[in-house]
């Protein structure tokens, strides 16, 4: 029996010469590399061919060996496919120059294997459903690159098919240039084959099944792996589609459009927790596989996540079109609050908000304000335990889905009131807070300014192009405030990003002030003075004590703004 997870260092050539086929799962993502990707790979390989490096490390591939001798290529298909295209390009040059015997050896070694049932040769590498036919018809047969160039002008081929063709044409061109440089095709072929067999290395990670692969990806937790997690999950769901495959494909495409550049697996996790409670110990992938068993299950699941993804995408993107169609008199407030939450970078709060938007959309603004204010106090300012907040978010979502709509005040009393920082605790933490995320600092100051001027005064936001964040003690204080060390205990650098040292200014005025001294700054501040800046004009000098006084006042104003409605 195969080990659950094992690894070894091998060459790409040995992988391609394995006893069985390398099979990309049918619904894995398409070939997606553009010229910048495969050009980088070729340049690195060329360093090996030129003898500048002894070995080239291609990265890792993850293989499900439960179907041995055929192997399922879970992760690494872009690199393996590109390397195979390189070999096909070499084979074309051999055929074009009538080196047929050498061409056959290359093909038998790396590209094809005998299919005795059909009395033919079959591809070592089997791509997904969208790319398979094109790859085998044009690339595997080492099509003339000029003819394939004509094919790329046709509108009947998918974008991934065109990526395959362009990569092949590129590799044919690069090998041609190498041949002209070395003046011997046999030498070039020998160097490439030797590199494939001995010098171009990778880590081959074998897993016993797709659940083990998903677990591995969760542990590795890198951006490239995250895409593979989504591919693996998609493949598992699509494998159960049956007669609903076309509907699932459309739903998955719509979901991808809804989520956009946001991480798909983060949405999947939040959707699951919002609907089913905490993730089971074995993780998201086994839980979904256990729930999606029949074609009907797969269709229902895809429909639910498609609908949910639109809501989720709208919460992360306040300008989303969904808000234009939602009958709600508080859309401006919703967009402002969502922008605020995004700046806080606290992802788990979307778990109850997803439930609130789906279950009680007409009162969503109240739930949103409550969650925003709790999150700002508890996480952004006090930095308290994220695990306790996540439990509260999860229980709130479960209550809304199981018990039906409930007022925000009731949800607060049940799940958040015990964790909620009271005014004195919040004031104390705010009065000492340093904010290094400039957009968040700009947002906090804008909220305070808007509250001071009231609804009839000018309203500002973190994304307002008319204002800039101003450091009163400038970041380049060493050059422009040379004698300020005595005014700031522990060093001026400790005070630069304190909220008391920050204010808002019109963009033009901010560029004029630069790093001038405090007396000059006060004169310029007075000409474009916001409410949050006026008290600063009373300070004779800008010192650590002045920053503390101003931040203590800002904290008193913040207590009035970020407060849940029941306190």
Taking the C-alpha atoms of residue 462 and residue 355, their distance in angstroms, rounded to an integer, is 27
219 burial class (0-12, 13-18, 19+ CB within 10 angstroms)? exposed
Taking the C-alpha atoms of residue 383 and residue 259, their distance in angstroms, rounded to an integer, is 28
Tokens found for residue 241: 């589609």
Taking the C-alpha atoms of residue 207 and residue 4, their distance in angstroms, rounded to an integer, is 5
148 vs 230, more confident: 148
Taking the C-alpha atoms of residue 403 and residue 410, their distance in angstroms, rounded to an integer, is 12
In the DSSP assignment, the letter for residue 536 is: G
Taking the C-alpha atoms of residue 535 and residue 549, their distance in angstroms, rounded to an integer, is 10
Domain boundaries, given as residue ranges, for the chain: 5-208, 221-421, 429-561
CA distances for 176 relative to 14, 179, 525, angstroms: 25, 5, 66
The predicted-structure confidence for 311-337, as pLDDT tens digits, reads as follows 999 998 888 888 877 766 788 888 889
Asked whether the beta carbons of 320 and 266 are under 8 A apart, the reply is no
Assess whether pLDDT exceeds 70 at residue 417: yes
Rounded to 5°, the CA angle 526-495-379 comes to 105
pLDDT of residue 239: 82
Site of tokens 């046709």: 154
Asked whether the beta carbons of 539 and 470 are under 8 A apart, the reply is no
The predicted-structure confidence for 29-62, as pLDDT tens digits, reads as follows 889 998 888 988 898 888 888 776 778 888 888 8
Taking the C-alpha atoms of residue 44 and residue 57, their distance in angstroms, rounded to an integer, is 9
Tokens found for residue 312: 């989720």
pLDDT of residue 388: 92
DSSP assignment of 71-131 equals EEEEE-HHHHHHHHHHHHHHHHHHHHTT-HHHHHHHIIIIIEEEETTTTEEEESEE--TTT
The predicted-structure confidence for 276-320, as pLDDT tens digits, reads as follows 988 776 678 888 888 899 999 999 999 999 999 999 999 988 888
| Cis upstream peptide for 69 (omega within 30°) | yes
Taking the C-alpha atoms of residue 329 and residue 297, their distance in angstroms, rounded to an integer, is 37
End-to-end CA distance of the chain: 61
Asked whether the beta carbons of 57 and 75 are under 8 A apart, the reply is no
pLDDT of residue 544: 92
| Max CA pair span of the chain | 93
Q: What percent of the chain has pLDDT over 70?
A: 90
In the DSSP assignment, the letter for residue 136 is: I
Site of tokens 């003339």: 144
Closest CA to 125 of 178, 88, 95, 162: 88
Assess whether pLDDT exceeds 80 at residue 263: no
Q: What is the pTM of this model?
A: 0.69
Q: Grade residue 216 by pLDDT with cuts at 50, 70 and 90.
A: low
Helix, coil or strand: residue 170: helix
Q: What is the torsional sign of CA 226, 230, 231, 236?
A: positive
Taking the C-alpha atoms of residue 458 and residue 453, their distance in angstroms, rounded to an integer, is 7
Mean pLDDT of the chain, nearest integer: 86
């Amino acid at each position: 029996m195969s080990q659950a997870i094992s690894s070894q260092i091998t060459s790409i050539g040995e992988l391609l010469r394995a006893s069985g086929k390398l099979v990309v799962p049918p619904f894995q993502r398409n070939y997606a590399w553009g010229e910048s990707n495969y050009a980088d790979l070729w340049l690195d390989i060329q360093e090996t061919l030129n003898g500048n490096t002894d070995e080239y490390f291609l990265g890792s591939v993850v293989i499900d060996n439960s179907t041995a001798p055929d192997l399922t290529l879970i992760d690494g298909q872009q690199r393996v496919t590109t390397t195979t295209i390189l070999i096909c390009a070499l084979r074309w040059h051999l055929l074009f120059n009538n080196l047929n015997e050498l061409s056959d050896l290359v093909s038998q070694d790396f590209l094809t294997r005998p299919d005795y049932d059909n009395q033919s040769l079959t591809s070592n590498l089997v791509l997904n459903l969208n790319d398979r036919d094109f790859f085998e018809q044009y690339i595997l047969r080492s099509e003339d690159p000029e003819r394939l160039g004509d094919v790329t002008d046709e509108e009947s081929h998918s974008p991934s098919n065109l990526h395959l063709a362009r990569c092949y044409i590129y590799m044919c061109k690069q090998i041609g240039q190498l041949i002209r440089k070395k003046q011997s095709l046999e030498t070039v072929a020998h160097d490439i084959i030797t590199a494939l067999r001995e010098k171009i290395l990778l880590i081959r990670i074998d897993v016993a099944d797709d659940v083990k692969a998903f677990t591995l990806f969760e542990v590795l937790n890198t951006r490239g792996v995250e895409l593979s997690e989504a591919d693996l999950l998609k493949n598992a769901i699509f494998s159960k589609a049956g007669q609903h495959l076309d509907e699932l494909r459309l739903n998955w495409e719509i979901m991808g459009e809804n989520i956009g550049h946001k991480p798909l697996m983060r949405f999947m996790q939040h959707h699951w927790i919002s609907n089913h409670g905490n993730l089971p110990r074995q993780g998201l992938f086994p839980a979904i596989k256990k729930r999606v068993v029949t074609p009907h299950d797969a269709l229902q699941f895809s429909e639910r996540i498609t609908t949910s993804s639109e809501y989720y995408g709208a919460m992360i993107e306040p300008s989303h079109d969904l808000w234009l169609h939602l009958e709600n008199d508080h859309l401006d407030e919703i967009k402002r609050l969502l922008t605020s939450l995004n700046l806080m970078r606290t992802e788990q709060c979307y778990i109850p908000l997803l439930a609130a938007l789906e279950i009680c959309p007409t009162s969503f603004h109240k739930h949103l304000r409550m969650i925003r204010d709790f999150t700002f106090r508890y996480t952004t300012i006090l930095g308290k335990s994220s695990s306790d907040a996540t439990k509260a978010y999860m229980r709130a979502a479960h209550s809304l889905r199981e018990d039906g709509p409930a007022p925000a005040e009731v949800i607060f009393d049940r799940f958040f009131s015990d964790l909620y920082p009271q005014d004195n605790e919040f004031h104390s933490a705010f009065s000492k807070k340093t904010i290094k995320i400039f957009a968040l600092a700009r947002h906090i100051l804008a909220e305070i300014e808007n509250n001071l001027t009231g609804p009839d005064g000018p309203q500002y936001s973190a994304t307002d192009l008319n204002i800039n964040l101003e450091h009163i003690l400038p970041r380049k204080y060493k050059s422009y405030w040379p004698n300020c060390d005595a005014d700031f205990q522990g060093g001026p650098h400790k005070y630069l990003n304190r909220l008391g040292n920050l204010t808002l200014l019109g963009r033009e005025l901010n560029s004029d002030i630069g790093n001038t001294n405090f007396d000059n700054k006060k004169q310029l501040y007075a000409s474009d003075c916001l409410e949050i800046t006026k008290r600063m004009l009373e300070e004779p000098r800008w010192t650590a004590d002045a920053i503390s006084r101003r931040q203590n006042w800002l904290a008193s104003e913040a207590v009035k703004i970020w407060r849940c409605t029941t306190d």
